[in-house]
Amino acid sequence: MKREPDLVDAETGVGHANEPHRARRVAESFGVDAARYDRTRPSYPEALVARVVAASPGPRVVDVGCGTGIVARLLRAAGCQVLGVEVDARMAEFARQGGLEVEVAAFEDWEPAGRVFDAVVSGQSWHWVDPVKGAANAARALRPGGRLAVFWNAFAPPPEIAEAFASVYRHVAPDLPFSPWAAPTLDADAALAARAVDGMQAAGGFGDAEQWRFGWERTYSRDDWIDQVPTHGGHSQLPTAQLNQLLAGLGAAFDVFGGSITMPYVTLAVTAERTG
């Protein structure tokens, strides 16, 4: 989910640019191949995890849209007690197999049931949640002084790489509403961050929001890159022949860069403290 009307990428929908959480069919499609998602999706920088933990008053954390448990495992390794909330039962089951506790629900409908937490986090998922209802439910679950922190990984590639991949999408899948190269993803995530801030302010119960940024890199081989492409929003709904053509085109574009690329990322976080 993402952005302004012309800003669309792997997590957004063209028809839902201003209300991405309404694209429920896509939001609930990632469990088609949960193992691939877990294997190929990028992690998050240690500095982000450390900062969230340091800014929270205790170890009890709710991970919204926990998926296969990528964020939850990082937090658990940092000493947190993590409860996942995940709308896709297939993703939830994968996370449980890794020893995580997960409740299946859309976060807007999830009930804290009297439980109180020190942090509510969401990695690469908050755009699938109604920004006002989600923030209001987070406020219900958090103790005073608790922290809401939502964050996204954004590609920050050199222009020649971005254009090469975008050209393949324009040629093979011009109508795909979730192309990760339709617009710069850092711009897209900035728009998502702004929506998150607005949602927190509208919901009430939070102090002033802050934005944190963390730059990092990941090196991909050709096979690594192709392996993760089908995990992006909307790709699993392409006809098999079209998806195969897309992957072949991206592979050929990748080869131009020598069979390996180091992809710069920026992790953008929006966070606010629960007021008394």
pLDDT tens profile 202-244: 999 999 999 999 999 999 999 999 999 999 877 888 899 999 9
Residue 68: which of 46, 43, 37 has the closest Cα?
A: 37
CA angle 246, 252, 254 (to 5 degrees): 100
Average pLDDT value for residue range 84-92: 96
Residue 11 has pLDDT above 50, yes or no: no
Query: Alpha carbon of 139 to those of 10, 106, 119: distances in Å?
Result: 29, 16, 10
| CA 20 to chain CA centroid, nearest Å | 13
**Location of structure tokens 């008394």:** 276
**Location of structure tokens 């296969």:** 68
Residue 207: which of 130, 141, 156, 273 has the closest Cα?
A: 273
Average pLDDT value for residue range 67-93: 97
d(CA 192, CA 131): 10
d(CA 195, CA 133): 12
Q: Which of 23-27, 45-49, 67-71, 115-119 has the lowest mean pLDDT?
A: 23-27
